[in-house]
Amino acid sequence: MKIAIVCYPTFGGSGVVATELGKALSRSKGHEVHFITYSHPVRLDELGAHLRFHEVDVPQYVLFRYQPYELALSSKLVEVVQKHQIDLLHVHYAIPHAYAAYMARKMLEDMGITLPIVTTLHGTDITLVGKNQLYKPAVTFSINHSDAVTAVSKSLKADTIKLFDIKQDIQVIPNFIDIQKHLASNIQCNRSLIEPDLNKKIITHISNFRPLKRVVDVLKVFQKIKEQLPSKLLMVGHGPERKKAYQYCKNRNLLNDVMFLGESSEIQKILCASDLFLLPSESESFGLAALEAMLHKVPVVSTNIGGLPEVNRHNYSGLTYPLGDIQAMAEGAIKILSNPQVHSKFQKQAFENAKRFDVNGVIRAYEKVYEKAVMKVRQST
Ligand code: GMT
């Protein structure tokens, strides 16, 4: 099949999932995959005859206060679909991708070309941005006019049905990791590069530092852990709350124990050296970073919000707590970290839990959705 994937090219979860999905579809199933987005996706580290990238260029006109990205995207979609005889379009994130996809489909219809559209909902396109009254009609319309819709967790599916007037079936297909690729990668884990004192516990947080990630809660939990156990915190990522988090540490003399690493392409090296992962978010449709931590045998202490309990099983892969319960999160983390037997049990269980999300099952599920969408469009023409 020739599949075009539209996504955000950044470090964010939806872009990572879309890129890894495209790579896996091409590598293990022989599909031809075309990524269409405004810059080279960060995780797209291989290109070839079956894996292509098309940049959406938005001409800048001083005449316009806002440059029309959707217009440029839908025009690019039409161009790529025609040129490469694309069979199906898979858009990740409803805003504005599903909307632009619909416009492209309409333009293509005029040229006698039919284009099935699959939309995958990721989270903030529904729970934060999408439910805004300003966008709601466009998001509802785009979801209802897709040929198939998937959501990355049961929780996100329920939120979508609650917040929008949905006349579509929504299939839950979780995010994924690639166990075989991970095992084959054989990472040389050098913990001492991060912390020479091997007695110190390494705690990690990875996010885009948006307010909903509650990075100050991460720091507060860490402070409590540090009172009981020698430890170091790695803050990985960049975003609006980074300055606030840095200032918090500076004011409390924490900068010797907290490292701000920025956005990193060396997540594997960071996670393989980590003892615990913290994710105290106030909203999370899935929590891909937590799953990636589990793949590296890192237990997760998180909130029990949104899709997180579907990913992080309480008392198995880690522990989950109500939003803002700093004391409980710290006590839970200390319980895991202070006893080597308990820690090792959680490490093994975290990895076992990650296996439930292996790429192979997920790829097959997406292929079935694609086949159904193609059939649906064929039958209606
Ligand atoms: O919040 C982020 O980390 C970015 C955001 C995105 O759109 O890339 O992540 C969303 O999609 C990820 C992949 O499906 C999920 O793992 C995240 O939980 C989800 N974020 C939220 O729901 C807040």
280-291: pLDDT as tens digits: 999 999 999 999
Question: How far, rounded to the nearest angstrom, does the alpha carbon of residue 324 sit from its chain's CA centroid?
Answer: 22
Q: 291 C-alpha to center of ligand 1: Å?
A: 12
Nearest CA to ligand 1 atom 9: 13
- Cβ-in-10-Å burial (0-12, 13-18, 19+) of 1 comes to middle
What pLDDT is attached to residue 10? 83
Instruction: State if residue 286 touches ligand 1 by the CB under 6 angstroms criterion.
Output: yes
Mutate which of 284, 300, 304, 366 for ligand 1? The one with the most ligand atoms within 8 Å of its CB, which is 284
Instruction: State if residue 283 touches ligand 1 by the CB under 6 angstroms criterion.
Output: yes
User: Global pTM?
Assistant: 0.94
Nearest CA to ligand 1 atom 7: 14
Confidence of residue 265 (pLDDT cuts 50, 70, 90): confident
Mutate which of 11, 90, 122 for ligand 1? The one with the most ligand atoms within 8 Å of its CB, which is 122
Report the C-alpha gap between 283 and 131 in whole angstroms.
14
Instruction: State if residue 12 touches ligand 1 by the CB under 6 angstroms criterion.
Output: yes
Q: 15 C-alpha to center of ligand 1: Å?
A: 9
> Shortest CA distance to 314 belongs to which of 330, 299, 335, 295?
299
Confidence of residue 29 (pLDDT cuts 50, 70, 90): confident
> Shortest CA distance to 298 belongs to which of 306, 290, 287?
290
